[in-house]
Structure 1
Amino acid sequence: MNTRPLGKTGFSIAPLVFGGNVFGWTCDEKTSFAILDAFVDHGFDAIDTADVYSRWADGNQGGESETLIGRWLQARPGMRDKVKIFTKVGSDLGLPGQKGLKKAWIQQAVENSLRRLNTDYIDLYFAHWPDPETPIAETLSAFHALQQAGKIRATGASNLDAQQLSSALEVARKEGLPAWQVLQPEYNLYHRSAFEGALCDLCISREIGVVTYYSLASGFLTGKYRQPSDLAQSQRGSGIGKYLNPRGMRIIDTLEEVAAQHHAKPGEVALAWLMGREG
């Protein structure tokens, strides 16, 4: 498997990252373990999760995905050295003080994630959402302290626009703090405008690694959702209805046409397009 450098993190990864928000939600432990085993067996090595996954499911409180990944690592001796683990802090976990990007919460949250993941370090730690109530310098300083302590290897931010990322980079420069090394935007064949342009250009010019999420638009780009009745196929169906419009159907039709020409599946074409993008 060919790997690619991930920005200035100092490490390289295979070109597809597995999104673990399904663990503890639509995937039980047995299914999660089987998926992770197959993922690694095929040469991939980066797994993305978050402390909040999958709080939205009935009976969950957050941390379920990290816990399943941690159990998988524990059940596979030596696996930790073969994979890169990404997780995030900042989403609302439903209890006072358990959200945002203040230093005190970051310090507590990383320990919680390390415990659930059964590891003593996280390869890439993301700030999940912008926190307008916390100075970015405080957040960057907290992340830097975690790096110095060996608890995280690299830092990133998710869901920033170009102005927010530019501001964070400038604060890092002025304060003498390490800047964000990786960005995680929502980006796929359907959802393009928020990343393409100024944000993508900034990542390229500053050598910021990019790890996208919703790369298949919650499964829409596989072609299995074409009408409202198809949404009942999955617990994720409620979030896919927004794609069932003329533009979405044109994208699916084109994907299927290209896939047929290459004896591939629509989802494979969508991911190949993404991996071929600059940045």
Structure 2
Amino acid sequence: MSSMQYRNLGRTGLKVSTLSFGAWVTFHNQVDVKDAKLLLTAAREGGMNFFDNAEVYASGRAEEIMGRAITELGWKRSDVVISTKLFWGGPGPNDKGLSRKHIIEGLQASLKRLEMDYVDVLFCHRPDISTPIEETVRAMNYVIDNGWAYYWGTSEWSAQQITEACEVARQLGLIGPVVEQPEYNLFARNKVEVEYLPLYNNYGLGLTTWSPLGSGVLTGKYSQKNIPANTRFTLENYKSMADKLVVDEVVAKVDKLKPIADELQVPLSQMALAWCASNPNVSTIITGATKESQIVENLKALDVIPKLTPDILDRIEAVVQTKPKQPEVHR
């Protein structure tokens, strides 16, 4: 098995594994503590060191399961990079959003569930238009100053919102967001490849990307009439995603990608993961899994990265035709 590669999280000194593991969908909904220990162990043995969570995942149960599993496994805290995300913490008017109150209380509650003293990276799970950016920036610096988080970032923010946060932080002499967590795969590219482009150079923004396989579509396991049992699209809450993603055009393109993967003698899923990793602006790719075997398979994608020559990348592009138009630069 190939050895893990580590990349800096944007321009920070923090090193994260190129492939990482996230608790979304699976923890609690599909996985208990016993299973979580097996999955986390497989991920660690493969060199993954970044583990992603959120207060909203399974209404806090995902954090509890990950925290309990890590405690029982006896991992050395400094060996791993743990992140969580705040925005939806409960039904009360102050249980959501990015107010100073919810950032501090939400993080305290997350840390309790995770059975940890700090998270390495704290994300704002969505932009909060009802809270001034300065309040959020100051609150994030407060939790960093108290040692409850070491870095902070955003998830699904616009380039404009991230820029505003970076500029407010700069004016105040405070720490700005160092990382964004967007969706990125062969069918979702605009944010990472166009919208955020100025941010990589201007602010050293890193990326922890999610959904590298388009919620499983890029494994090739879905076809128009067939949604396999026990996959996430059979879960009630994910039905609408299935309707959006499992469409004729996408499935037809996925089918045409298979021969390229066959030629490289790798499964399509590994080629799709390697494709995400071939973008130098991606710090880590968050993968999900319900079985150890899936983690082992995903880790093999590291060996595929060098096989993605410019010629192969062009052929993939010719099939998917999803490359976003770059904005015209007027000189």
TM-score relative to the length of structure 1: 0.92
Report deviation, 1:96.
3.2
In the superposition, relative to structure 1, how do residues 10 and 28 fare at CA in structure 2: closer, same or farther (>3 Å)?
A: same
Could you tell me how far 1:253 is from its partner in structure 2? Answer: 2.1
Alignment of 1:1-279 (within 5 A): 1-21=4-24, 22-54=26-58, 62-91=59-88, 93-230=90-227, 232-237=229-234, 238=239, 239-279=241-281
Deviation per CA, 1:137-191: give whole Å up to 9, x if none. Answer: 1001011011111110111000011111122222222222211000111111111
| Higher mean C-alpha displacement, 205-214 vs 269-278 | 205-214
Q: CA deviation at 1:266?
A: 1.0
Report SS of the residue matched to 2:31: coil
Task: Tell me the amino acid that sits aligned with residue 197 of structure 2.
Answer: C
Structure 1: unaligned runs, 5 residues or longer: 55-61
Contact 2:224 2:247 in 1 (8 A): no
The answer on whether the counterparts of 1:114 and 1:121 sit within 8 Å (CA) in structure 2 is yes
CA contact (8 A) 1:26 1:235 kept: no
Opposite residue 43 of structure 2, the aligned amino acid is: F
Deviations 1:94-145 (A, max 9, x none): 2331100000111111111111111111000000000000001100101101
Whole-angstrom CA distance in 2 between matches of 1:154 and 1:20: 20
Q: Which has the higher contact order (CA 8 A, sep 6+)?
A: 2
- Report the TM-score when normalising by structure 2: 0.78
Structure 2: where are the runs of 5+ without partners? 282-331
Q: Taking structure 1 as reference, are residues 236 and 30 closer, same or farther at Cα in structure 2, changes over 3 Å only?
A: farther
CA distance in structure 1 between the partners assigned to 2:117 and 2:270 by the alignment: 35
CA RMSD of aligned residues (A): 1.6
Percent of aligned positions that are identical = 34
Residues 123-132 or 11-20, more deviating? 11-20
How far 1:33 moved relative to its partner? 1.7
Structure 1 moving runs of 4+ over 6 Å: none
SS of residue in 2 equivalent to 1:165: helix
